[in-house]
Amino acid sequence: MDASPLQRGSTAPDFALPGTDGRTWTYADVAGPNGLVVMFICNHCPYVKAVLDRIVRDVHALRDLGVGAVAISSNDAATYPEDSFDNMKRFAQAHGFDFPYLYDESQQVARAYGAVCTPDFFGFDAKRALEYYGRLDASGRQAEAPGMKRELYEAMKTMVQSGRAPDEQTPSVGCSIKWKVS
């Protein structure tokens, strides 16, 4: 049903998806001068809910490094009504998203990226090449432990400074994308 995740060095697939702000967004619209983090999230996932405050924090910090960010929900809202577009709008507002939160109703974008779970993070450089595919941090569904490494942020910071993210990257853990049944 789902595709394999993009491999390091792969070019970011483009997209044109509706945002919770009423605008249609493309890759070029959201990329910063030094890259872009594409994150697949949803409203109902306990893993996403556990890290939302850190996602917002790290998006702000990445913006200061010239790295843009976008969140995409690809879950089947017919099966998971909490993930509907109307609920996405409420979710984004309630959690203070100041980055685009897009709806991939067809699930084509999730398939193109090879997203497998929520949350799932893809970090691209200024040339749209994948440099980071992994998790936000080691917390899973737990609260942030003191001194916990900010894996996504640190990898993207290293990429901005040196042109390449570290080779050591840990895959995301979360709820599986809720694929439509054909």
pLDDT at 4: 80
How many Å apart are CA 103 and CA 33, to the nearest integer?
A: 24
- What pTM does this model have? 0.95
- Provide the residue-wise pLDDT of the chain in tens; the chain has 182 residues: 456 889 999 999 999 999 999 999 999 999 999 999 999 999 999 999 999 999 999 999 999 999 999 999 999 999 999 999 999 999 999 999 999 999 999 999 999 999 999 999 999 999 999 999 999 998 888 777 777 899 999 999 999 999 999 999 999 999 999 999 87
Please, what CATH class does the domain formed by 16-176 belong to? alpha beta
How many Å apart are CA 180 and CA 182, to the nearest integer?
A: 6
pLDDT at 3: 66
The DSSP result for 144-172, as a single string, is: PPTT---HHHHHHHHHHHHSS--S-----
Helices (H), the chain: 27-30, 46-64, 85-94, 108-113, 151-162
How many Å apart are CA 61 and CA 51, to the nearest integer?
A: 15
* Domain ranges for the chain: 16-176
How many Å apart are CA 44 and CA 73, to the nearest integer?
A: 11
Structure token pair of residue 55: 């996602």
pLDDT at 99: 97
pLDDT at 19: 98
pLDDT at 89: 98
How many Å apart are CA 54 and CA 132, to the nearest integer?
A: 18
Please say whether the beta carbons of 176 and 45 come within 8 A. Answer: no
Q: Which residues contact 16 (CB under 8 A, 6 or more apart)?
A: 24, 25, 26
- By the 10 Å C-beta count (0-12 exposed, 13-18 middle, 19+ buried), 52 is classed as middle
pLDDT at 98: 94
